[in-house]
Amino acid sequence: MDLQQIKKILDRKVTEYNTKKFISKDPICIPHRFTKKQDIEISGFFAAMFAWGNRTTIINKSSELIQLMDGSPYEFLIHHQEKDLQKFLPFVHRTFSGQDALYFLYFLSSHYRQHESLENAFNLAPGSSMKENLIQFHRYFFSLEHLHRTEKHVSTPLRQAACKRINMFLRWMVRDDQQGVDFGIWKQIRSRDLICPLDVHVCNVAFRLGLLDTNKANWKQAEKLTDVLRTFDSNDPVKYDFALFALGAEERWR
């Protein structure tokens, strides 16, 4: 198939899958439980960071963590006391431990005491590339005292990671297409600058379509795929994440 034929297929799948009916079985359903901007950001960040493995488990573990925050993430981060943190110690999701959760809470609490939105953490180098912004975010996120093991839960392009979960979170926060799936609550980052979340499903489908020359996910391939998708829609390349992911995960097209 040539690129125009591929574009037609992907456009059709975007229309099919970029709808509210798929929210309930996707991790994005977690931030959709909230209306307050900060609650959307915090719950969305955790849901995105937990997003590897079975989606039902991701949703359940995200829900569990939100309940530990008394169902009000922002209020908990701002007003909790030291004794309130003990209940997080038994929390586990795959390799994410209670100690990791405590650092995430520590960082987010520190950030929100100084800033109104988490968007500030992703716009540390205005005018720079998304790669540089994500590198700076990683440095900022781990600028407080922490266990070295916790760093594996937030990827950085500096280590050639595809940064799928962070890019997915940014898609949720930035894209504003009025379809009701992504939130579009962040305005300092443009949709055209986002990088396509490159997980195993997206990578395999992109490889099979000839959009990538390997099915090994890394930062270089994430940028390469996004560059191709920009030829389909220069202002909103990551909308094709809906199509590529659905073809791989929903339709098992590999």
Which residue, 237, 251, 203, 242, is CA-closest to 20?
242
pLDDT on residue 124: 66
Classify each residue of 138-171 as buried b or exposed e, where b means 16 or more C-beta atoms within 10 Å of its C-beta: beebbeeebeeebbebbbbbeeebbbbbbbbbbb
| Under 8 Å between Cβ of 156 and 219 | no
pLDDT on residue 250: 76
Phi-psi domain of 210 (left: phi exceeds 0; alpha: psi -120 through 50; beta: other): left
Q: Could you report the per-residue pLDDT of 188-241, keeping only the tens digit for each?
A: 999 999 999 999 999 999 999 999 999 999 999 999 999 999 999 999 999 999
Distance (Å) of CA 238 to CA 19, 65, 79, 112, 135: 15, 28, 36, 28, 20
pLDDT on residue 252: 65
pLDDT on residue 11: 97
- The pTM for the full model equals 0.96
For the chain, which ranges sit under pLDDT 70? 124, 252-254
Distance (Å) of CA 26 to CA 53, 55, 178, 252: 12, 6, 18, 16
pLDDT on residue 92: 97
Q: Could you report the per-residue pLDDT of 184-201, keeping only the tens digit for each?
A: 999 999 999 999 999 999
Q: Would you state the structure tokens that stand for residue 96, as one six-digit string?
A: 């994410």
162 φ, ψ (degrees, to nearest 5): -70, -20
